[in-house]
């Protein structure tokens, strides 16, 4: 099985990059399954029905989320629908949406960390343990985990904790791609952070002047996506999985920079 997991889509620039690059990769690599983190797809804050549809049409099988999943209030009813949208599984059970899904024998689990993150959620490790017991009963061909958190140490800890029990663990949220893609000793493909899909000339996707204003003045400043600033980046992890065990036999980053008219 050939799987691609794509880093956080940031606003219109990220959606444009995805729409230009992902269809070609699906064809060139003969991909079987694609997970895209879409929690910043709508102007940097959450998803809308239209932006989610754009991501699915580009070739995503599942759209994962994070701490911005609920930012677009009009989208919340869609989280309870049948479309393949996820929010972190360690939110309270009373929160809208679901934290895992199985499509075509492939399970996708979305978790959010607690270190330096604003929401006080349940332990992602305990949640993973509970849900894996449930997921494993259904004998999926592969289990893919998107762990959305700030601290690279927490991302790494989750990879080692789940090594051998899931196919892939990727970190998301920081928007900074890490150069440590590898297969862990028991067979799980891992990268600390996928990075982002969005504008190159930005500060993790936002306008440079907005971010600098926050640092230089210590005053509140709503961040906006850097648009029309030049080239776009696409960050992802590609893995080939063993058909019998579901564990990784090959892993590599696929990162691209493109310029659009």
Residues forming the active site: 68
Torsion-angle region of 48 (φ positive above 0: left; ψ -120 to 50: alpha; else: beta): beta
> With the CA atoms of 80, 84, 87 and 89 taken in that order, what torsion angle do they form, in degrees rounded to the nearest 10?
90
Enumerate residues 6+ apart whose C-beta is below 8 A from 228. Answer: none
Q: 90 with 158: CB under 8 angstroms?
A: no
Show the tokens assigned to 32: 């079987």
**CA–CA gap between residue 79 and residue 71 (Å, rounded):** 12
List, in sequence order, the alpha helices (H) in 163-252.
208-217
DSSP secondary structure, 39-61, as one string = TTTTTTSS--HHHHHHHHHHT-S
Residue ranges with strand state E in 8-130: 8-9, 33-37, 62-64, 100-103, 106-112
How many other β-carbons are positioned within 10 Å of the β-carbon of residue 8?
Answer: 31
């Amino acid at each position: 099985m050939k799987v691609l997991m794509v880093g956080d889509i940031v606003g219109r620039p990220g959606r444009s990059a995805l729409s230009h690059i992902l269809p070609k990769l699906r064809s060139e690599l003969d991909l079987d399954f694609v997970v895209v983190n879409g929690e910043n797809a709508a102007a940097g804050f959450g998803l809308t029905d239209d932006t989610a549809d754009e991501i699915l049409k580009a070739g995503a099988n599942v759209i994962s989320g994070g701490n911005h999943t609920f930012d677009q209030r009009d989208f919340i009813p869609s989280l309870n629908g049948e479309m393949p949208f996820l929010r972190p599984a360690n939110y309270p059970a009373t929160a809208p949406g679901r934290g895992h899904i199985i499509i075509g024998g492939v399970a996708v689990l979305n978790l959010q960390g607690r270190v330096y993150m604003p929401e006080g959620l349940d332990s992602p490790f305990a949640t993973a343990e509970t849900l894996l017991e449930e997921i494993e009963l259904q004998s999926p061909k592969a289990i893919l985990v998107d762990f959305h958190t700030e601290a690279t140490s927490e991302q790494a800890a989750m990879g080692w904790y789940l090594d051998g029990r899931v196919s892939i663990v990727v970190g998301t949220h920081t928007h900074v791609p890490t150069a440590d893609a590898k297969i862990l000793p028991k067979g799980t493909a891992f990268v600390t952070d996928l990075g982002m899909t969005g504008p190159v000339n930005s500060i993790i996707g936002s306008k440079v002047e907005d971010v600098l204003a926050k640092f230089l003045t210590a005053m509140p400043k709503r961040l906006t996506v850097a648009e029309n600033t030049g080239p776009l980046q696409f960050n992802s992890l590609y893995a080939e999985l063993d058909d019998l065990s579901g564990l990784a036999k090959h892993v590599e980053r696929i990162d691209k920079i493109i310029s659009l008219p």
